[in-house]
Structure 1
Amino acid sequence: MALQPESPSQPASTVDPAEIAKFSKLSAEWWDPTGRMAPLHRINPLRISFIRDAACRKFERNAKSLSCLEGLRMLDIGCGAGLLCEPFTRLGAQVIGIDPSATNIAAAKLHADKSHLSIDYRNVMVEEIDPRERFDIVLAMEVIEHVTDVGAFLSRCAALMKPTGMMVVATLNRNWKSFALAIVGAEYVMRWLPRGTHQWDKFVTPAELEQHLNRLKLTVTEQSGLVFNPLADRWKLSPDMDVNYMMVAEPAP
């Protein structure tokens, strides 16, 4: 899909309408740990601990403190129904969650209200965020494989970071192993995800992601893979970034 023409009042959008429609259909199932979003629930503790620990190292906080992110402003781009927004709010962060799907945001607000959590959820694209807003932590978790222009999307994300901030990106590698496991295995054999959730040609290799970040004058400071052990029936952080992986980037010194 071609990007919209850029103008001062209407920045170019990197959102793919087909992807919005796809995830909107899942909005009611986001918080069901045994439903279609079960794989996300299973890796969520690892995502949370990776981000929390990286943020605590960056901002010199005690990761064991229940309020270790207090005073930090966090933006979760493509937040879905708030699976990351809620735990980080509980850790003290001021969280803004954005998603182009109105049904996802409605589900997020409803669950936050039930949980008595104050979270600023907005049904907007990242391009619609006021460019004067700045965040200590910007999250783009499992998002870049669904946008129309990875470089333009990351550029907008980076522009919303404070000069002392950090960004965390999670996505899928593009190789034969990711095709076999993330698409054939997860969508067709194990049926962890609805068929068509991912397009293999939109996956991004770690080298490509790092190149995009470097062009934006960002340096990768931490990275980790996420691997599934079928014998133990659990996910774990690993140096193996062949399929799922996460990167932390900060403004270059």
Structure 2
Amino acid sequence: MSETNSTIDPAEVAKFEAMAAEWWDPSGKFKPLHMLNPCRLDYITRQIAAHFGRDLTTDRPFDGLRLLDIGCGGGLLSEPMARLGATVVGVDAAPRNIPVARVHAEQMGLQIDYRLGTAEALAAAGEAFDVVLNMEVIEHVADPQAFLIACHDLLVPGGLHICSTLNRNPKSFAMAIVGAEHIMRWLPKGTHDWSRFITPNELYDLLAGARLRAIDRTGMVFNPITWGWSLSARDLSVNYVTASVRPQA
């Protein structure tokens, strides 16, 4: 696929490629993702189990499901999905991320199909998945609508799409830009562009424009007292996640 048909923003890819070697360091540049990961996994696993009627108390509840992790990075979500039985493809546009992910999966004894590429290229190749994970990616792409259309095309009819991003308001600027990048220095300055953040209503409109039917939206809230994350049905003011479905017809 040519660059003109891709929603990839080279400048955004370069930011994360520069940090690739630190993906599995819980105290490194990806510390915020390591802290957020249990909360993300809680939402993802519950949504998949509910949608496909799976029992999370079994050893491999996602056996038989083919799952795509877009913007897989070092594999922080791909690996637990593989452990739960899913057949996982992880795709990332940053070349240095893929070797990191492959080596770590091999060390963990996991079989994960990591590929350098884009959602659009996979869709053009006719790939199809039961579940598409699109976590903290949409705020970094050049064309969110085209990107979500590719996500739709990657799903089988009845497939599940899970997308997380950041709300755009003064609170998110204070916490995600000023707090995370300038005060706490959890992320390098410039990691996020506040103008690219997407409100929940905007994301719902984008999902509808991609012919995806939204079924849920939930906040992910950081508590500075417990120093941990939790899901919230009411507080979508900064981080939030949505679930949507490709209709059967």
The normalised TM-score by structure 1 is 0.94
Report the CA distance between 1:116 and its aligned residue: 1.1
Show the counterpart of 1:3. none
State the partner residue of 2:246.
251
Paired residues in the alignment total 245
- List alignment gaps of at least 5 residues for structure 2: none
1:136 to 127, 130, 133: 130
In structure 2, what is the equivalent of residue 238 of structure 1?
A: 232
- CA distance in 1: counterparts of 2:108 and 2:131, whole angstroms: 23
CA distance in 2, matches of 1:124, 1:196: 24
Show the counterpart of 2:55: 62
Q: Which residue matches 1:104?
A: 97
Contact 1:131–1:159 (Cα < 8 Å) also in 2: no
Provide the residue aligned with 2:14 in structure 1.
21
* Structure 1 Cα separation of the partners of residues 51 and 230 of structure 2: 22
Cα deviation per residue 1:44-98 (whole Å; 9 max; x = unaligned)? 0111121111001000010222201111000011100100000000000000000
Partner residue, 1:5 = none
Q: Equivalent residue of 1:242, what SS?
A: coil
Q: Determine the structure 2 residue equivalent to 1:85.
A: 78
State whether residues 78 and 143 of structure 1, in contact with CA within 8 Å, keep that contact through their aligned partners in structure 2.
yes
Structure 1 residue ranges without an equivalent (≥5): 1-8
Q: Give 2:181's match in structure 1, choosing from 170, 174, 187.
A: 187
In structure 2, the residue matched to 1:175 is 169
What is the CA-CA distance between 1:20 and the residue it aligns to? 1.0
The sequence identity of aligned pairs, in percent, is 49
Does structure 1 retain, via aligned residues, the 8 Å contact 2:145–2:209?
Answer: no
**Is the 1:131–1:160 contact (alpha carbons within 8 Å) kept by the matching residues of 2?**
no
Aligned positions of 1:20-59 closer than 5 A? 20-59=13-52
Paired with 2:217 and 2:59, the residues of 1 have a C-alpha distance of: 24
Q: Give 1:131 deviation, angstroms.
A: 3.8
Root-mean-square deviation over aligned CA pairs: 1.1
- Name the SS for the 1:97 alignment partner: strand
How far 1:214 sits from its partner (Å)?
Answer: 1.0
Off by >4 Å, runs of 4+ in structure 1: none
> Secondary structure in 1 aligned to 2:90?
strand
CA contact (8 A) 2:157 2:247 kept: no
Helix, strand or coil for the counterpart of 1:76? strand
Residue 223 of structure 1 deviates from its aligned partner by: 1.6
